[in-house]
Structure 1
Amino acid sequence: MLAFIARRLLYAIPTLLAVSVVAFIIIQLPPGDYLTTLMADWASQGGAVQEGTVLAMRERYGLDQPIYVQYYKWIVGIVTQGDFGISFETGQPVTDIIWGRLGFSFLLAFLTLCFVWLFAIPIGILSAVRQYSIADYSAAFAAFFFLAVPDFVFALTAMYIWSTFFGQSVGGLFSDQFIDAPWSWARLVDFISHVWLPVVVIGLGSLAALVRIMRANLLDELSKPYVATARAKGLSEFELLIRYPVRIALNPLISTLGWILPAVISGEIIVAVVMSLPTTGPLLLRSLLAQDMYLAGSLILLISVLTIIGTLISDILLAIADPRVRRQ
């Protein structure tokens, strides 16, 4: 088991390096850079910019150097000092900007994963066991509906209904008086009263997908000979279901952690913007629009790290749940 985990960790190192290179190159692909965008904004406001000023700022930000030099300084700073660079737009260290939002992103991701798994597994089991029943057709209709409709549409609809018919504020994760307040019981209650709506909105798409996956996998297992053998030995239907087919059908759901975790952490960017969530999603969008390469590159790198962490966690859980994985 330890050798299995060690191999996965070793594979992660070159993957992270390759992802960081690709992310940094992609950010540099659009024409111009941060200063180009900044000068265009100044010009649109009627401001005159001298060429000497542009050259001085380009040298200050290190944009006059080749891309491989910029990447080398950035990645060495991250590895040796934990320094992700300076945000061009705000002039603050990237770490100070990111860590303020990453905590809420992690918390939102954890709650969303709990919501998705809590409902996807029992609904998928019910849909498979009661195949072609009203419950099965209802679950299928709901799953395809939630998969087809974009998340931001659910966000807009939920915000309209909740504010119009219930008179509740649904933007952000706190009421105005608790945004910058220290943590207390009142702030926790206020957080809980706000966080459930974005958790449901962000989790609906993943919930619908996992319900269909669970149903399909369980139906495949229920038709196998070992189920008939276990039933012939006198096991009750519930015990038989939980001990054998459900346990095996869970494997594909466990493997989805690799893509669900980074998707939730990124905050479902449009949903986070619509609902004014203080997560990393809107921050990533703003940094890409401003071509703030150190901030955008750091966020993309962190999301990639989360993808690898999610995959590692799913591999470990699969190895625990299924001995065949460990033997392979």
Structure 2
Amino acid sequence: MRAFVIRRVLYMVPMLFAISLVSFAIIQLPPGSFLTTYVAELSAQGQDVNSAQIQALEERYGLNDPFHVQYMKWISGIVLHGDFGQSFQYQQPVSELIWGRLGLTIALSVITMLVTWLIAFPIGIYTAVRQHSVADYSFTFLGFLGLATPNFLLALIFVWVSYRYFGQTVGGMGSPEYADAAWNLGKVLDVVSNLWIPVLIIGTAGTAVLIRVLRANLLDELRKPYVTTARAKGLPEWRLILKYPVRMAMSPFISTIGWILPTLIGGEVMVSIVLGLETTGPLLMGALQSQDMYLAGAFILILGALTVVGTLLSDLLLAWWDPRIRHAQAEKV
């Protein structure tokens, strides 16, 4: 197991380097640059920008440098100083912009993950044990409905229903009276009280997926000989189900760590834009639209790094949870 962990960590170094290179290249693939968008906005406002100003801005931002020079400046700043560069659009360090919104994003994503698990776990078990029942068909229909409905459409429906029938606007993650207040217990409780709508919307598709996967895996386990043997020995039914088949079918829940970490940054982009949430999603969308390469590149790099780290954590947790996977890894080592 130790050799497996060391090998995976060593693999992460060149992989992260490749992710940084690809992410920086992707940002520069679209035609033009931040200056192109900036000049277009000034022209739309009726302001003239001469070539001398454009040249000065290009030299200031280093946009005249070759690709490899720009990349080396960016990656060396990250590795040596933890500096992700300066945002062109906001004129602030990228790290300050990201970390300023990361706390609310993490809180939203972690709560969504926990709620998703709490809902999907009992429903998945019940529909597998009561296969072809009315409840099974009902939850299956709701699951397919949740998978087929985009999250941003659910957000729009919630906004319309809240305003149309309750006369309230749904948006933001806090009440107006706490907008400029310092973080204290009252503000934390206020944010938590406003989280249930985005949590419900973002978690819809994930809950539907986990229900279907857990149901399918548990049905497969319930048909295996060891279940028949345990049942023949007189083991109580619910104890039998929870002790053996459910444990083997729980792997999908643990493996979700691999994709939960990337969604901490980018999984709630459209919902956050619709609901006006001050998370990292709208910031990423704005950076891509304005071609703010350092801000957008930092987001893509962090998403890639979280994917790699999340996959490692999910593999380790699966090896700890499921002896079959642990033994398979030991044989490979």
Q: Please classify the TM superposition score into its range, dividing by the shorter chain length.
A: over 0.9
Name the structure 2 match of 1:298: 298
| Shift in alpha-carbon separation, 1:6–1:169, aligned structure 2, 3 A | farther
Letter of the structure 2 residue corresponding to residue 186 of structure 1: G
Name the structure 1 match of 2:136: 136
Deviation of the 1:304 alpha carbon: 1.4
Deviation string 1:174-210 (CA, Å, 9 cap, x unpaired) is 0112122112232122112211110110010110011
Q: Percent of aligned positions with the same letter in both sequences?
A: 54
Letter of the structure 2 residue corresponding to residue 111 of structure 1: I
Name the structure 2 match of 1:210: 210
Deviation of the 1:267 alpha carbon: 4.0
Secondary structure of 1:32's counterpart equals coil
Conserved? CA contact 1:87–1:294, under 8 Å: yes
Name the structure 2 match of 1:44: 44
**CA separation in 2, counterparts of 1:158 and 1:82?**
40
Secondary structure of 1:288's counterpart equals helix
Name the structure 2 match of 1:103: 103
**How is 1:26-175 mapped onto 2 (pairs within 5 angstroms)?**
26-175=26-175
Give TM-score scaled by structure 1 length. 0.97
**CA separation in 1, counterparts of 2:152 and 2:311?**
27
Name the structure 1 match of 2:22: 22
Secondary structure of 2:46's counterpart equals coil
**CA separation in 1, counterparts of 2:267 and 2:171?**
14
Q: Bigger shift: 294-303 or 263-272? A: 263-272
**CA separation in 1, counterparts of 2:179 and 2:235?**
55
**CA separation in 1, counterparts of 2:265 and 2:46?**
39
| Shift in alpha-carbon separation, 1:256–1:206, aligned structure 2, 3 A | same
Structure 1: state its 5+ residue gaps: none
**CA separation in 1, counterparts of 2:254 and 2:220?**
17
Deviation of the 1:108 alpha carbon: 0.8
Secondary structure of 2:195's counterpart equals helix
Conserved? CA contact 1:124–1:211, under 8 Å: yes
**CA separation in 2, counterparts of 1:257 and 1:313?**
7
Letter of the structure 2 residue corresponding to residue 185 of structure 1: L
**CA separation in 2, counterparts of 1:177 and 1:307?**
37
Structure 2: state its 5+ residue gaps: none
Letter of the structure 2 residue corresponding to residue 26 of structure 1: I
**CA separation in 2, counterparts of 1:197 and 1:326?**
39
**CA separation in 2, counterparts of 1:222 and 1:279?**
42
Conserved? CA contact 1:105–1:267, under 8 Å: no
Conserved? CA contact 1:202–1:264, under 8 Å: no
Give TM-score scaled by structure 2 length. 0.95
Name the structure 1 match of 2:322: 322
Conserved? CA contact 1:172–1:276, under 8 Å: yes
**CA separation in 2, counterparts of 1:256 and 1:164?**
37
After TM superposition, which residue ranges in structure 1, 4 or more long, deviate above 4 angstroms? none
**CA separation in 1, counterparts of 2:292 and 2:64?**
15
Letter of the structure 2 residue corresponding to residue 203 of structure 1: G
Conserved? CA contact 2:210–2:252, under 8 Å: no
Q: Bigger shift: 269-278 or 7-16? A: 7-16
Name the structure 2 match of 1:269: 269
**CA separation in 1, counterparts of 2:305 and 2:115?**
23
**CA separation in 1, counterparts of 2:254 and 2:71?**
35
Deviation of the 1:31 alpha carbon: 0.5
Conserved? CA contact 1:213–1:253, under 8 Å: no
Deviation string 1:109-168 (CA, Å, 9 cap, x unpaired) is 110110111111111101100000011001100000010011011111112223333344
User: Paired residues, what number?
Assistant: 328
Conserved? CA contact 1:169–1:175, under 8 Å: no
Letter of the structure 2 residue corresponding to residue 150 of structure 1: P
**How is 1:170-185 mapped onto 2 (pairs within 5 angstroms)?**
170-185=170-185
Name the structure 1 match of 2:5: 5
Conserved? CA contact 1:146–1:205, under 8 Å: yes
Letter of the structure 1 residue corresponding to residue 324 of structure 2: R
**CA separation in 1, counterparts of 2:305 and 2:280?**
14
